[in-house]
Amino acid sequence: MERRNFIEKAVIGTAGISLVNSSGLFASTIIGANDKIVLALIGSGGRGTPTIINTCKLNANVVIKTICDVNDVKAAKAINEVEKALGYRPQRSHNMKEVFNDKDIDAVWISTPEHWHALATVWACQAGKDVYVEKNPTVSVWEGRKMVEAAKKYNRIVQVGFQNRSAPYAFSAREYIKSGKLGQIVHVKSYNMLGGSKWAPQPDAPVPAGLDWDQWLGPAPFVPYNPGIHDMNERGGWGNFWAYSGGHMADDASHVLDLARMVLGDPGHPKAIYGWGGNNAWGSNREVPEIQTITYDFEKFALTCVSGNATNYMKKTPQNIRMDPTLFPDWRTNATRTEIYGTEGLMYLGRHGGGWQVKGEDSVLIAQGGGIFPDNDHQKDFIESLRTRKNPNGDVEQAHLSASLIHLGNIAYRVGNNQLNFNGVTEKFIGNEAANKLLRRSYRENYKIQDKV
């Protein structure tokens, strides 16, 4: 059997008809449950590459046509990994607009740094592509609203990488709370208390060979290349700067807060936010704080989130517990837990596995639900949504509301650890123009999200 025919049969499966036209293996024919879906990866780092490969393994008739990255080293590595795992070599692109203009491609998988997420999503929707975009989906509240508008206007599926939205144990926790068994919710505490060390800046350096630095910066302000921001092989330190990220809150606390919102029935925007934070643990001089505590007023209850990199004795749920629905973490030192206080009990809730448990008086176990890491569930849900056009579990509307909690908390910190009142309808702060200016960022020419998407 010729290699090309073997690959087509191996990837396309048993659809019963030939799905190959002049474009070969990567011709798009998405119609129904048995039809081929053609993906492109935009941003080929350590998260995007393995997840898109796994999606192709989990779902029949899903292929990767293009790897798009401005970093030659990461792109070459991703292409080799796809060939090793799936048996064919995708093509290479340096510019995501080439991907958006390719009529074979049905959907894009956006795993760039956070400052590119919103613009890439809007451009993809405008080009008629469906989107999977990793968290945190935005770096500002205004961006999130534009993503929601673009998805609706162009009738696109936009699934955000808040994987807990597809976790069966998250659904059962939500049902337990909805049943009233936990009683009236009076307070919620979410934690993102990770380890770390003192951060030190690095001097600027020449742009490495094989990197388009201007495109990497994209919508962010132009600055000289700095190895403290970008790394040719690893993730890099861009999460320490407001131009590219929301810091520790956006990186891991976004998952925790989104899961808390989900099981609580997805409340809308809070009416007030109080923020505190600073570089008090290690004394770093980076832009994002080492530790911060945010309180959100949801009228019927308050939610607090503690986030940072100052507690090395706190750990995420161990991998063996994440993958075993019969095991639960030691909640006392679990770094990414949520505690939901009801009048009838206290629910401990894990993130990305770990399940949930409800304790009553004298720590008596009242109820529990096991759960495992939900990546597979989320990836299956995305492909199902493409084929059926159902709303995905991690829909962009709820993702925007969850991401906004990150931005609102960071803004409260950035304007002086203040309390801010917020109008959830207009998505504006009340009586604080300094805070309102941080709801939207400026964009470089050729990298703008327009007011009308």
Quote the pTM value.
0.93
* 6 residue type, one letter: F
- Residue bearing tokens 């810091």: 247
Encode pLDDT of 378-416 as tens digits. Answer: 999 999 999 999 999 999 999 999 999 999 999 999 999
**Residue 10 confidence (pLDDT):** 36
Q: What is the mean pLDDT of residues 161-180?
A: 98
Q: Is the pLDDT reported for residue 425 higher than 60?
A: yes
Q: Which of 96, 45, 89, 33 is nearest to 63 (CA)?
A: 89
Which residues are 383's β-sheet partners? none
DSSP E strands, 123-219: 130-133, 158-160, 185-193
Per-residue burial over 52-89, b if 16 or more Cβ lie within 10 Å, else e, is bbebbeebbbbbbbbbbbbbbbbbebbbebbeeebebe
Contact 306, 192 (CB under 8 A): yes
Encode pLDDT of 132-166 as tens digits. Answer: 999 999 999 999 999 999 999 999 999 999 999 99
Encode pLDDT of 6-39 as tens digits. Answer: 333 333 332 322 233 334 667 765 555 568 999 9
**Residue 236 confidence (pLDDT):** 97
**Residue 12 confidence (pLDDT):** 34
**Residue 29 confidence (pLDDT):** 59
How many residues comprise the chain? 453
Q: Which domains does the chain have, with CATH numbers?
A: 3-164 (3.40.50.720), 167-453 (3.30.360.10)
**Residue 27 confidence (pLDDT):** 72
Q: Is the pLDDT reported for residue 326 higher than 80?
A: yes
Mean pLDDT estimate for the chain: 93
Q: Is the pLDDT reported for residue 275 higher than 80?
A: yes
Q: Which of 192, 194, 170 is nearest to 347 (CA)?
A: 170
**66 vs 60: CA distance, rounded Å:** 18
**175 vs 347: CA distance, rounded Å:** 13
Contact 169, 370 (CB under 8 A): yes
